[in-house]
Structure 1
């Protein structure tokens, strides 16, 4: 059978931030959203990556297989948005599962309908980035997307019994409104397989990439959230019975 071909931006080895244990993280190129706080504008387009076959990526993963298994880690497919490349993602996930490697899918859920049940059968954990809790704010944040597909995907994952780690980027003046956070918390709490919520403080570490690409960074003057704001948002999630990091 011919190996599926994908567009790979880069890969890295990380610990504790992209799923449990030490992980091989493959960043796939291409994303339908244009989030104002995106720190990787260099992954927006498929052409930003390099063509690679599933067999070639698996060969790279296997170089680290023993190391990641010993650490209780695995492979995380991230982006960009990996569900833009479902055929390639399906191949990698299935190959990893056949080797007993833990798999995580890092996605906004906006393209969740593209992931059929057979693809999700090879996913052990979903890192679900919920951009905002109401449609208006979601549209403002992503500039191209809608919340409804993400919400539908979250509930579908719950019905399938798939573990979820919710990620929420906290941006002062953009995603921090009390009603918006409440809506994200309510959505997360309504899905029984959500194991934790990770509140990710906004940062400007990707500004150099925007400058290199000649793209204005929309949040160039936005500061990181103050400790009091983080405390308030954490409390909002905890009030819904959620475990928060």
Structure 2
């Protein structure tokens, strides 16, 4: 749980991090949430009441964001959670990697989710596999197409890793793919950082990007300039 989150959707937000993810991204800053058997059980109504107590801080734009891990692994329970939040007129956001698009997920997204923040890992299959350890980059694009068809709001997120996802041709490829989508309000560039390295070490895992460096300000601004040709708003987090 995180109160007063300001980088997890619009406005001030209560952020709920769920356990479990089928990917193992090389830069994951919450590797402790990957294990689907970890975490702590929380009663839905308890979470709803926490959100209600924060409503005065949410203002007109804030609300509740569910992140992870991959929250859509628990889509059925999230339907009940988000249904209650909508009864209380609280804005709802899902932060997802887009790997799941089954019936519970489409019901959750179409009926109860005001905004999705969709992580685009890489624009090539080879790059996607190197970053996530899994195949089929198209799953996230299928979710984006589904969201576009519903006409509901979406943000894209893209982690900018020097020499891995920062190549200009990849940025142009990303922009060209999504340039005609009408539901994308903004693209967020997520600068690469090593804030989660200590968590990898605590789990006894070797951090795969130990030799990677963080972005320079010039690199971030260059990426923003390229992507601004394709998206109405580009933000560096």
Calculate the TM-score normalised by the size of structure 2. 0.93
Structure 1 residue matching 2:37: 3-state secondary structure: helix
Distance 2:53 2:231 in 1: 40
**Equivalent in the alignment of 1:48:** 38
Q: CA RMSD in A?
A: 1.6
Question: Take 1:143 and 1:189, find their aligned partners in 2: how far apart are those partners?
Answer: 28
Unaligned runs of 5+ in 1: 1-10
1:160 to 116, 135, 150: 150
1:26-37 alignment to 2 at 5 Å? 26-37=16-27
Deviates more, 1:220-229 or 1:150-159: 220-229
Look up the SS of the partner of 1:46 in the other structure. Answer: coil
Deviation per CA, 1:77-104: give whole Å up to 9, x if none.
1000000111111111111111100000
- Matched residue, 1:111: 100
User: Which range moved further: 210-219 or 170-179?
Assistant: 170-179
Distance 1:240 1:194 in 2: 11
**Structure 1 ranges of 4+ moved more than 4 A:** none
Distance 1:132 1:204 in 2: 19
Q: Which blocks of at least 5 consecutive residues in structure 2 are unaligned? A: none
Number of paired residues? 234
CA apart distance, 1:58: 1.9
Q: CA deviation at 1:109?
A: 0.8
- Identify the match of residue 76 of structure 1 among 62, 65, 77: 65
Partner residue, 1:171? 161
Deviation at 1:53, TM superposition (A): 2.5
Corresponding residue for 2:12? 22
Query: Which among 174, 190, 193 is matched to residue 200 of structure 1?
Result: 190
Is 2:220 aligned against 1:220?
A: no
Q: Mark the CA change 1:115 to 1:243 in structure 2 (over 3 Å): closer, same or farther.
A: farther
- Kept in 2, the 8 Å contact 1:126–1:164? The answer is yes
Matches within 5 A, 1:117-128: 117-120=106-109, 121-128=111-118
1:168 is displaced (CA, Å) by 0.3
